[in-house]
Amino acid sequence: MTTVRDEPSSEFPVASSVTPFRSGRVIDIRTDKVAMPGASLATRDVVVHPGAVGIIALDIGGRVLLLRQYRHPVKRFLWEPPAGLLDEAGEDPLAAAKRELYEEAHLQAARWDVLLDVFTSPGMTDEAVRIYLAREVSEATGPRFEGEHEETAMPIEWVPLDEAVRLAQAGHLHNPLAVMGILAASAAAREAFAGLRPADSPWPEMSSFTGSTGEPSQQ
């Protein structure tokens, strides 16, 4: 019987690699020449990304926290869970998740578990995301974080988990962390959250890249 489990592979070695675009901010774009079966080479462009964390926060009533944020690439307001980049060298992902929950929603949580580890779009980017489940949430102490740009005003809604599932299935939610996290949280809730991994579980897919530091390309 075949074991269904994703695993690293060395069957497609990289013959050469260049980085034609460096944003100087978050991403780089790398172009690899990859050895294929039959001794051929194929060109593959990769968006190099530092990765991120997302948080599915549930309150005592089983409602999930969603924030509305403008996303320019798709020119839409999307309802999303709190989330943030892993762009600080050496930062623990759980610490980053706690920071994002505090900064984006002014909340803290007493119970944390790993809900999902995912590659968001593996056909074009190496972005790896860990989605946590945060429970026993309460209002955070200390001053509220002041966001900037798209984060200056992000409305918050607490949505019953079953309703959030229906919204995702109806095509009303499109953020991948929201859709994946909501469906996974719903499945976990049916099992009384048994079997979730501890919040400090190993995450070998986590990227060591912490954002583009090269000179921005001229466009």
pLDDT at residue 153 in the model = 75
Is residue 21's pLDDT more than 50?
yes
pLDDT at residue 209 in the model = 94
Both 122 and 159 in one domain: the answer is yes
Per-residue model confidence as pLDDT tens digits over 134-149: 999 999 987 676 666 6
Both 67 and 133 in one domain: the answer is yes
Both 34 and 56 in one domain: the answer is no
The answer to whether residue 44 is domain-embedded is yes
Residue 154 contacts residue 82 (beta carbons within 8 Å): no
Per-residue model confidence as pLDDT tens digits over 144-187: 766 666 666 789 999 999 999 999 999 999 999 999 999 999 99
Query: What percentage of the chain exceeds 70 in pLDDT?
Result: 93
Residue 219 — pLDDT band, cuts 50, 70, 90? very low
The answer to whether residue 5 is domain-embedded is no
Both 79 and 162 in one domain: the answer is yes
The answer to whether residue 6 is domain-embedded is no
CATH code of 162's domain: 3.90.79.10
The answer to whether residue 214 is domain-embedded is no
Both 79 and 119 in one domain: the answer is yes
The answer to whether residue 202 is domain-embedded is no
pLDDT at residue 154 in the model = 85
Per-residue model confidence as pLDDT tens digits over 55-68: 999 999 999 999 99
pLDDT at residue 213 in the model = 86
pLDDT at residue 123 in the model = 96
Both 60 and 20 in one domain: the answer is no
pLDDT at residue 145 in the model = 63
When divided into structural domains, the chain yields a total of 2
Mean per-residue pLDDT, 5-20: 94
The answer to whether residue 26 is domain-embedded is yes
Residue 104 — pLDDT band, cuts 50, 70, 90? very high
Both 20 and 118 in one domain: the answer is no
Mean per-residue pLDDT, 113-139: 97
Determine the structural domain holding residue 75 and report its residue range.
52-197
Please give the positions annotated as active site: 151
The answer to whether residue 173 is domain-embedded is yes
Both 90 and 142 in one domain: the answer is yes
The answer to whether residue 122 is domain-embedded is yes
pLDDT at residue 147 in the model = 61
Both 191 and 106 in one domain: the answer is yes
Mean per-residue pLDDT, 20-46: 94
Both 20 and 89 in one domain: the answer is no
Both 69 and 138 in one domain: the answer is yes
Is residue 75's pLDDT more than 70?
yes
pLDDT at residue 38 in the model = 86
Closest by alpha carbon to 88, among 192, 200, 219, 209? Answer: 209
Mean pLDDT, rounded, of the chain: 93
